[in-house]
Amino acid sequence: MIAIIDYGAGNLFSVCNALDSLNIPHQVTGDPGVLETADAMILPGVGAFPDAMERLNTAGLTTAIREQAEKKPLLGICLGMQILFEKGLEFRETEGLGLIPGQVQKIEAPGLKIPHMGWNDLSVPHPCALTEGVKPGDYVYFVHSYRAETSEEYVSCSTWYGETIPALVCRGNVFGAQFHPEKSGTVGLRILQNFARLVTK
């Protein structure tokens, strides 16, 4: 069972729909005890970095996510990916979950609209478990104004929007998708299916 973490800052409906379409067992939860018994976790997110971390802290989920991420696969989506990093610079400097080295900063794309919204193609410099069946040039759907700044070794996929933007990051069994796999058609569903397979290997 995959636990979809509910902390009041995620688009849970579309993630649940995508997992339903793949017949992947899941449960929406804000209970740290359920995270402990789950086989894997998905951390969705929509909104601002400081608000998301405040909600996680208030819900008592921050420590639970950090502890469980050492034992089982975790996938952060959009803002959920960003808060996997050490800190965010949105509005004010805020401590993140610290599961992947790096920080989150505003996209610098002169002449282009911010937020970065729409379909962009992927480069795959460092294939990982989630990129099986994903090809360079495949398109996925983005909605974001901030991006991760991290070492290349953690960047499995990237895209270009005025600058190189990490699109899929990975460190051990912790993964983050800046795009929305649940809204990215067959490519996104393949990535979610690859994530689910991690708990059956």
Q: How far is CA 73 from CA 10, 36, 53, 61, 161, in A?
A: 19, 12, 20, 16, 29
Per-residue pLDDT band for 190 (boundaries 50, 70, 90) equals very high
> Taking 60 as the threshold, does the pLDDT of residue 96 lie above it?
yes
- Separation of alpha carbons 4 and 137, rounded Å: 29
- Separation of alpha carbons 179 and 49, rounded Å: 16
The encoded tokens of residue 67 equal 């502890």
Q: Which domain holds residue 143?
A: 2-197
Nearest to 94 by CA among 78, 83, 108, 106: 83
The residues annotated as belonging to the active site are: 78, 180, 182
CATH of the domain at 37: 3.40.50.880
Q: What is the overall mean pLDDT for the chain? A: 96
**107 contacts 142 by C-beta, under 8 angstroms:** no
- Separation of alpha carbons 150 and 143, rounded Å: 20
pLDDT tens digit sequence for 27-55: 999 999 999 999 999 999 989 999 999 99
Say what the pLDDT of residue 175 is.
Answer: 98
Nearest to 140 by CA among 163, 166, 114, 162: 166
pLDDT tens digit sequence for 113-131: 999 999 999 999 999 999 9
Domain count of the chain? 1
